[in-house]
Structure 1
Amino acid sequence: MRVAAIIFLILFGRLYSQDLPPIRNFTPADYGAENQNWSISQGSDKRICIANNRGLLVYNGSSWTLNPSPNNTIMRSVKAIGDRVYSGFYMDFGYWERDVYGILRYTSLTKRLNVDMVPDEEFWTILEIDDYIIFQSLDRIYAYNPSDEAVRVIEAKTAFTKGFEVDGILYFQRIGHGVFKVENGAEVLVSNHPILLEQEVINLFGTQEGLLVLTSDSGFFKLSPEGLISWEIPANGSLLASRIYSALQVETGGFVIGTISRGVLHLDADGNLVRQYDQLNGLDNNTVLALFEDRDGNIWLGLDNGVSYINPESPFTLFVDKKGEVGSVYAVRSHKGFLYLGSNQGLFYKPVEGSDEFTLVEGTKGQVWSLDEIDGTLFCGHHTGTFVIDGTQAVRIDEASGTWKVSRLPDHPQWLIQGKYDGLSILEQDGKYWKVRNKIAGFEHSSRFVEVLDETVFVNHEYKGIFKVRADSAYYNAISVTADTTLIGYDSGILKYGNALLYASSDGIFRYDPKADLFAKDTTLKTIYEKEKNLSGRMHVDESNNSLWFFGNYNIYVVSPGNLMGNPKTLVIPLTEKERNGIVGYESLGVQPEVGSYLIGTGSGYMAIDLNRYASKDFNVTLSSVHFEGRESQSGLESMAEISRAGEFSHWQNNLDFSFFTAEYFPFRAPLFQYRLEGFYPDWSSWSENPTASFRNLPPGSYTFQVRSRIGDQLSGNTADYAFVIGRPWYSTRPMWAVYALMLVLAGWFIHSQYRNYYRKKQIRLLSRKQRELDLARARNEQEIVKLKNNQLREDFRKKSNELAASTMSIIKKNEILNRVRNQIHERFRDTDSIQPIIDIIDQSLSQDDDWEMFKEAFNNSDREFLSKLKTAHPELSPNDIRLCAYLRLNLTSKEMAPLFNISPRSVEIKRYRLRKKLNLERDENLVNYLLTL
């Protein structure tokens, strides 16, 4: 065992750097169940069925579905046969079938057939032999015949380990008794060799020489009539160092073996270890509980923690630098028996044959930009200059500045042109060695992409455009330098292909027209740009078959030779930028010695593509379920429709969800879906990985849902469709339309009657309104007359007031004049006796009441009610008091009233005071205000 372990470690060390096919891992979080997966099978619809701790897992290539165990126990076994999926649990076995809605429904055979079971039975294996379905537990074997629903039981004298089917014969092992087979309904001992008594048999395989027995700890044995002998194969060291749990023989004749702690061992038919898959090179878990090969050659792994599948026959294999020593690969080349990787950490090599690890070429540590093979010599463009690579050695021939690439110089085989960090330089061959001859003077720009066409050197600069450099005949000096700034783009590049100069960027593919001296969009390659809107400027030519390679976001495009001038024949390789894990703008292509074999540099190694294995394959898209939901449903409960016939939904069941799938399992080639709804959305949707489509609030009508899929550039062989009708609401049916017509007639008659009544009433209202208008006009006329009279009265009153004011002022003026005259007489004439008669006349005139009577008459004309109200309110007032009240109502001052009374203003104040007492006014009450408000 120690020797075997040493051998295994040696083999494992050599296999560490091997190329591996793509591996797809699913975690419990991905599939929504528990970690352990015990058995795997594939249904007639190509869906993968897995026995999980929680129940039956189904994967359709896009989504997972969990069908919980009916008795809430661990599902240990599963086998898809026809339209049924048989499964075994704790104390139960039966089958699943899809109903008309596409949902798996479980039928328990133990309950339906009243099978009497041994306590604590679990069913670990399900086989199909002849017309029987075999369910095997550790205690019994149950043979179920679906045609007559009969079950036959084979009892175990000692525990069964596992059942096997070889060439239509049922084999099983009894611990301590050997290997048996069932023949004519009876068990027959096949071998009781001590190894078969002691070790668990993992699987049995049929060969021309007899049975091939795989044990858990001792590897393979050949069982023939001569006995049990060990099968001596190169992989025995790996087998003996592993604890084996599961195994299967693949269609190609090899074997896939699952171990407890070392992942999966892949052996060819001769027992050579082809590859090992474990956590170091891609698996999520090293314990493999179940193995299954699907119809496309994918190997499915039921792990102790998760699910994985591997495609050993994939045209793609990967080398991933797990140690991080190689770094990101910018150039890859196979040359003279060595494989070279130029990365950001240096130039690495290993022999093409074998699985040795990559080794750094001494002296090349640092950034490598290119590997160019020219006439058998390999040149390395490096950050520190240019190297010539010879086997495992590197010779620096230029260290002036960094070198982007080395190219041929047409018509000058003795010279090569270099694209440098700071311009262009010429290499010259001196015997069998190369050396730098000169730097082309007059051009100092960085020259990553350099091509020579008709003696003109084209240099593409991503930020400055395309330079056209014309040098002298010896390429010492640049005679002229012009720049085409119409083509400036990040991630752009130029390439000479045959006699054509191509420019590619995210704006498209252009071809140089020498006559017009400009780049124009290439019409023959436009289909590539139409498919890929973000094309990398990095192009490559495979000189062995003159094919042209383009890199896009979603695909790699290989243009076949001979068709470029007409309709190009393009191979589309569906590898997205994410799946390639490449360095955008620095995509590298290496041609392998084998025809059709290529290498593409990645961010952590390389990807190998074998176009000989790359072939299109027919596939179909399947509609898996149709859900409908009523927008008026208060509970929000969804329902399912039968997918086998046209659907009929009520008007409120107008929210529909469709699920579909393409059961193809190609890593790097996930199916894309496109759908439309005829009758509502006539145009196809955009391509998407989403395997569902939803429509909300569909109006009544007839519809057909259609879906198709695409893998790479190939469409599915069918278009799945589903016709359905959204019914009209009850108020939009034909009987209701008849009711609506009758209601319309009745409504017309009713409206006519209403209109007739309306116009009659309107006429009455019109006559009534006219009468009211006449009455209103009459009232307005009368009002106008009254208004005119009132205006006349106000005018009369105004005139009377003016007369009263004038008379009052006249009396005041007259009395003032008389007083002044009397005073003047007293002052000037001392002899008063002679002028006394004049004074008497004046006094008599001042004391007469004529003025008062005239004033009183005028006052009564203007305010006739005041005096009567005053006498009524205060009958005790004297005539002088009434006269004072009249003057006060006119708002005359004491000074103005004094002449009227022929007294002094002081006396007027006294009269006012006495009047207040007679009127019984309060101390703070204003006399004039009181008289004005009376």
Structure 2
Amino acid sequence: MPRLLFFCCLCLTFGSAAGQELLTPRIRSFSVAEYGGENQNWGITQSPDGILYVANSGGVLRFDGLHWSLHQLPGRPTVRTVQWANDRLYVGGYGEFGYFTDEEGVLGDYTSLSTRLPAAEQTEEVWNIEVLTSGDVALQSFSRLYWLRGDSLAVQLPGNIMFAHATGDSLLVPVTDRGVLVQPSRDTGNYLTESEPGGRIVAIAGTGNRLLFATTEEILTYGKGGYRAWSTEATDLLRDQQINRIVVLRDGSVAVGTIMGGVYLFTADGRIEQHLSYGNGLSNNTVLALFEDRSGNLWVGLDRGLDLIVRSEPLRFYRQGKQPVGAVYAAAEYGGNFYIGTNQGLFVRDDRLRDFKLVPGTAGQVWELRVTPYGLLCGHNDGTFLVKDGAATLISDRSGGWQTIPLPGDSSRLLQANYTGISVLDCGGAGAEHRVEGLLAPIRFIARTERNEILALHGSRGAYRVRLSDDWHTLTGVDTIRSPDLIRPLLTRFGDTLLVQTADSRYRYSAGTFIPVTQVRGVNVHPGEYCLPGRVGTQEWFVVDKDRVTAYRGSRKLADYPVRLRYNFPRIIALPDSTYLFCLEDGYASYRPEETEPADVGLLLRLTRSGNNVWQFTYALPALDRPIRYRYRLLGFSDRWSTWSELGEKEYTNLTEGDYRFQVQGDWFGTEREIAFTVPPPWYRTVWAYLAYITLFAGMIYLLFREHTNRLNRQARKLEAIRLRQLQRQRIEARNQQLEEENHRKSRELANTTLTLAKKNEMLLDLKEELAQSGKKDQARDAQKLLHLIDRNLNHEEDWAIFESHFNEVHEAFLKRLRQAHPQLTSGDLQLAAYLKMDLSSKEIAPLLHISVRGVENKRYRLRKKLGLDGNDNLNAYVRDFQ
């Protein structure tokens, strides 16, 4: 009802019902390139958290207010319908239907229901989904109803059916040649009548006792008397437009989508409220789907694109009709007519006119419109006009009437700023005009500061302090004010405060000085923003930047709107009926502050983590009718808010471990949300890592200790080995010394034995010789015995055995090796060799062999032969060196 009241007020302001069509809601259009699907959009639904889903020929579109995404079904069929219910998104298309699960605001896995059907039935096209209050879901094809209760799927064959509609716990199903079947869930239904209405029913809307049945040519109601026409006016308008969709909106009005003529909006009793088509904002006229979102805005699925009719905001736009008016600079109501001044002239519209018409003689740039007791004053590029009774009279030919202000105590006279300076206009009588002499410069804005003193801003740069005479005819003084770089300044008055603004700065004027200002009425204002006052006597005012207007009442923000005013010359005009007119480049917009109601939307925030230390935040505010700006901060990292931006993502990398809170704000009524998270330490600083470090450190200490112990053991073993080798060497040396001493002893014993043996043999030989020479007969027998005894002692082998034993101990088995080397040697040869080894001379050998020296020489000769020595070889050397 508030929107209906708003339209009625606009009607009173701007004309009759026919004129209401000039003011249309804002339409936000989404192109194929923007949403990333195909051209045709067949169905629309919305989840409880505000996310929009669209059945598109390319798949399911998801829109959270900032991000579009496309989700395709198996086989990539055209998606003809979507419906949110039971925390699921049900979808249907050609040969495929099923549902997506919801996973914290993100589409989850897809479950196909059509695969449960026999293969022959999997070619049906599901093009409508309805949900009953019981939670049962009806999925409709052209000849079948698929009932889904929980996960149980049943099939019903009522016949050829058209667009079904759920009302309460029943489903209304138009059946060809039968009428409308009232189907209570899966139970047996009854028909409203035994016949169809005059035309084929293509859509049903409404609930309870207020049901509307749309045929291709008209809209019907049903009662005790059967079907009857809902509205004659609607029937006349829709007869040739081919109705395709119908929706009863929450405020009671009715939206009708057609194939030929776009969207028609009707009041509850069937009077036309609005007609939106390609000519006044829609992307095209072929409507495939209608859906009212939870904010009260109307989504229109089109044959080529997707549009949003923003009905929830108190803004209505003038769409230029057959007579383009251009960029609007001024507006006023006068004499029951509505005037707008544009860059093309002064235009007027009354109750009888559908469009504006140009006031004759006023073609060209209009700068200002002011209502006076004497007529409508029009500041024009060609001069100043006074408009009365629809005619414009030139009262001043001084070009460029930028601004006028009233003179105190005289309602007929105005002070005007124009291209050549300052003039005084007399609107009464003949409308006289004279120029104030002394200031020849284009003056864009003027304002009274003190008695007879004016602040004047140059049209392009600079400011002047102007003093006038009491009669305002004479310039008594003018000072150029030392001011900041005022390029294309704007002068506005907030109560008693004069505010001078440029695109980058803002100053308060006081007593000839400019004081920088960062706040207006307790609100921070940033570079690039202009502050415009509202209606006098109220706290209403506006902040304008390049692509939006924000409305305030005092320091409280009412709302902001994506409206683009002329940025270098922003104008918002207060009209008498408590509305404001926004001057636009291509028309104007009407705004009523008391109609502002913030949408109940919550900011969506999602955290995803990728990699070891990459944290990505995705956020969006599903205020689907406008672009939203965001700012964020990460507590624990920085307490400062970022600058406002329309981006909906932020990524942090390489955060140190600790607790953080990511906060994000949307600039729509201070919506804010935060998410807390903890960054774990890197793997090398985890508890397990520290345990590993301790274990590794202990292992290293153990290994070092073990290595140190092993090194000490090796060193001890090495020292022990050295000690043992030294001891062994000492033992060997002692042994060698002992052996050497033993050898010396044995050599001495051998020598002594040999000498003793030689002396004994020599003595025996001498004794034998003595006995042989004895001639006594009587002694012969005794001598023979004695000789025999001597011979036996000379040839006693025990002596040789003793000698050989001692000899081998000294010369290490010399005789054995010599026998092995020369097996032909006899025992006598070995004895001779042994004596030669001892380096005995022939003379010393002879007694030992008890032969003569000559006999020894003979033995030596024979030994040489046996040893294979020639005449040049030394026998003694050979024997001595033999090993």
TM-score band (shorter)? 0.7 to 0.9
- Residue of structure 1 equivalent to 2:671: 716
Which is worse superposed, 181-190 or 245-254?
Answer: 181-190
The 2-side partners of 1:557 and 1:473 are apart by 41
- Residue of structure 1 equivalent to 2:327: 328
Task: Indicate how the Cα distance of structure 1 residues 448 and 582 shifts in structure 2: closer, same or farther if over 3 A, else same.
Answer: same
- Residue of structure 2 equivalent to 1:199: 200
- Residue of structure 1 equivalent to 2:560: 574
Task: Indicate how the Cα distance of structure 1 residues 189 and 499 shifts in structure 2: closer, same or farther if over 3 A, else same.
Answer: closer
The 2-side partners of 1:447 and 1:692 are apart by 47
> Is the Cα contact below 8 Å between 1:242 and 1:261 reproduced in 2?
yes
What secondary structure, in the 3-state scheme, does the structure 1 residue paired with 2:464 have? Answer: strand
The 2-side partners of 1:75 and 1:587 are apart by 45
CA offset at residue 85 of structure 1?
Answer: 0.7
> Is the Cα contact below 8 Å between 1:44 and 1:81 reproduced in 2?
no
CA offset at residue 297 of structure 1?
Answer: 0.6
- Residue of structure 1 equivalent to 2:643: 686
CA offset at residue 358 of structure 1?
Answer: 0.8
- Decide which of 516, 521, 544 is 1:551's aligned counterpart: 544
The 2-side partners of 1:497 and 1:685 are apart by 30
What secondary structure, in the 3-state scheme, does the structure 1 residue paired with 2:395 have? Answer: strand
- Decide which of 657, 660, 674 is 2:619's aligned counterpart: 660
CA offset at residue 182 of structure 1?
Answer: 1.7
> Is the Cα contact below 8 Å between 2:443 and 2:459 reproduced in 1?
no
The 1-side partners of 2:521 and 2:207 are apart by 55
CA offset at residue 439 of structure 1?
Answer: 1.4
Identity score, percent: 25
**1:548-600 deviation line (CA, Å, top 9, x unaligned):** 5453346545565xxxxxxx53546424xxx43322232222223322x1111
Which is worse superposed, 368-377 or 403-412?
Answer: 368-377
What secondary structure, in the 3-state scheme, does the structure 2 residue paired with 1:491 have? Answer: coil
- Residue of structure 1 equivalent to 2:183: 182
> Is the Cα contact below 8 Å between 2:220 and 2:228 reproduced in 1?
yes
Matches within 5 A, 1:593-608: 593-595=576-578, 597-608=579-590
CA offset at residue 178 of structure 1?
Answer: 1.6
CA offset at residue 207 of structure 1?
Answer: 6.1
> Is the Cα contact below 8 Å between 1:102 and 1:624 reproduced in 2?
no
> Is the Cα contact below 8 Å between 1:54 and 1:69 reproduced in 2?
no
CA offset at residue 546 of structure 1?
Answer: 6.6
- Note if 1:451 corresponds to 2:447: yes
The 2-side partners of 1:27 and 1:618 are apart by 26
Task: Indicate how the Cα distance of structure 1 residues 250 and 204 shifts in structure 2: closer, same or farther if over 3 A, else same.
Answer: closer
What secondary structure, in the 3-state scheme, does the structure 2 residue paired with 1:659 have? Answer: strand
Which is worse superposed, 539-548 or 136-145?
Answer: 539-548
- Residue of structure 1 equivalent to 2:525: 531
- Residue of structure 1 equivalent to 2:260: 261
AA matched with 2:378: C
Task: Indicate how the Cα distance of structure 1 residues 233 and 602 shifts in structure 2: closer, same or farther if over 3 A, else same.
Answer: same
- Residue of structure 1 equivalent to 2:859: none
- Residue of structure 2 equivalent to 1:287: 286
- Residue of structure 2 equivalent to 1:122: 125
- Residue of structure 2 equivalent to 1:859: none
CA offset at residue 70 of structure 1?
Answer: 2.0
- Residue of structure 2 equivalent to 1:236: 235
CA offset at residue 627 of structure 1?
Answer: 4.6
The 1-side partners of 2:435 and 2:104 are apart by 78
**1:441-488 deviation line (CA, Å, top 9, x unaligned):** 212121220112321122111544221221222222211111103244
Task: Indicate how the Cα distance of structure 1 residues 506 and 76 shifts in structure 2: closer, same or farther if over 3 A, else same.
Answer: closer
Task: Indicate how the Cα distance of structure 1 residues 702 and 500 shifts in structure 2: closer, same or farther if over 3 A, else same.
Answer: closer
Task: Indicate how the Cα distance of structure 1 residues 135 and 723 shifts in structure 2: closer, same or farther if over 3 A, else same.
Answer: farther
Task: Indicate how the Cα distance of structure 1 residues 101 and 389 shifts in structure 2: closer, same or farther if over 3 A, else same.
Answer: closer
- Note if 1:39 corresponds to 2:47: no
AA matched with 1:55: G
AA matched with 2:444: R
AA matched with 1:583: R
> Is the Cα contact below 8 Å between 2:19 and 2:353 reproduced in 1?
yes
**1:91-131 deviation line (CA, Å, top 9, x unaligned):** 332211034794421112343x5567636311121111123
> Is the Cα contact below 8 Å between 1:425 and 1:436 reproduced in 2?
no
> Is the Cα contact below 8 Å between 2:386 and 2:392 reproduced in 1?
yes
Aligned CA RMSD, in angstroms, stands at 3.2
TM-score, length-scaled by structure 1: 0.69
AA matched with 1:278: S
Structure ID, larger Rg: 2
AA matched with 1:427: L
AA matched with 1:442: G
Task: Indicate how the Cα distance of structure 1 residues 443 and 349 shifts in structure 2: closer, same or farther if over 3 A, else same.
Answer: same
CA offset at residue 71 of structure 1?
Answer: 3.3
> Is the Cα contact below 8 Å between 1:57 and 1:66 reproduced in 2?
yes
CA offset at residue 25 of structure 1?
Answer: 1.4
> Is the Cα contact below 8 Å between 2:452 and 2:472 reproduced in 1?
no
What secondary structure, in the 3-state scheme, does the structure 1 residue paired with 2:24 have? Answer: coil
How many residue pairs get matched?
694
AA matched with 2:301: G
- Residue of structure 1 equivalent to 2:860: none
- Residue of structure 1 equivalent to 2:833: none
> Is the Cα contact below 8 Å between 2:521 and 2:555 reproduced in 1?
no
CA offset at residue 189 of structure 1?
Answer: 1.7
- Decide which of 402, 405, 409 is 2:403's aligned counterpart: 405
> Is the Cα contact below 8 Å between 1:91 and 1:117 reproduced in 2?
no
What secondary structure, in the 3-state scheme, does the structure 2 residue paired with 1:737 have? Answer: helix
- Residue of structure 1 equivalent to 2:370: 372
The 2-side partners of 1:523 and 1:464 are apart by 22
> Is the Cα contact below 8 Å between 2:630 and 2:667 reproduced in 1?
no
The 2-side partners of 1:128 and 1:28 are apart by 29
AA matched with 1:689: E
Task: Indicate how the Cα distance of structure 1 residues 163 and 557 shifts in structure 2: closer, same or farther if over 3 A, else same.
Answer: closer
Task: Indicate how the Cα distance of structure 1 residues 374 and 278 shifts in structure 2: closer, same or farther if over 3 A, else same.
Answer: same
- Decide which of 88, 92, 101 is 1:88's aligned counterpart: 92
- Residue of structure 1 equivalent to 2:156: 154
- Structure 1 residue runs without a partner (length 5+): 1-10, 561-567, 631-652, 757-934
The 1-side partners of 2:90 and 2:559 are apart by 38
- Residue of structure 2 equivalent to 1:638: none
CA offset at residue 19 of structure 1?
Answer: 1.3
CA offset at residue 42 of structure 1?
Answer: 0.7
- Residue of structure 2 equivalent to 1:74: 78
What secondary structure, in the 3-state scheme, does the structure 2 residue paired with 1:733 have? Answer: helix
**1:706-752 deviation line (CA, Å, top 9, x unaligned):** 2423134x221532444453541489811222145336757988999
CA offset at residue 507 of structure 1?
Answer: 5.2
- Residue of structure 2 equivalent to 1:706: 662
Matches within 5 A, 1:408-447: 408-430=406-428, 433=429, 435-447=431-443
- Residue of structure 2 equivalent to 1:725: 680
The 1-side partners of 2:493 and 2:274 are apart by 40
What secondary structure, in the 3-state scheme, does the structure 1 residue paired with 2:285 have? Answer: coil
What secondary structure, in the 3-state scheme, does the structure 2 residue paired with 1:25 have? Answer: strand
CA offset at residue 533 of structure 1?
Answer: 1.1
- Decide which of 126, 129, 136 is 1:132's aligned counterpart: 136
